[in-house]
Amino acid sequence: MREFFAMGGYAFYVWTSYALACVILAWNILLPHRVHKRFISRLRRRLTQRTQA
């Protein structure tokens, strides 16, 4: 197990690459998801305001 994490002495380069991939991919899912949800709730609020008016 320790050998696996050591990556033959290249641990820093290999694991930083995988960590960067993780961060960049997560950002590309979480951000659009949040923007979409927020936009839907804004549209819905506008719709209820208009029906009440």
Binding site for other proteins (CB under 8 A): 4, 7-10, 13-14, 16-18, 20-21, 24-25, 27-29, 32-33, 35-36, 39-40, 43-44, 47
Judged by beta carbon, residue 10 or residue 53, the one nearer other proteins is 10
State in angstroms the smallest separation of the CB of 10 from other proteins. Answer: 4
Instruction: Count how many residues are written for the chain.
Output: 53
CA atoms of 19 and 25, how far apart (whole Å): 10
CA atoms of 34 and 46, how far apart (whole Å): 18
The answer to whether the CB of 11 falls within 8 A of the CB of 5 is: yes
Judged by beta carbon, residue 18 or residue 52, the one nearer other proteins is 18
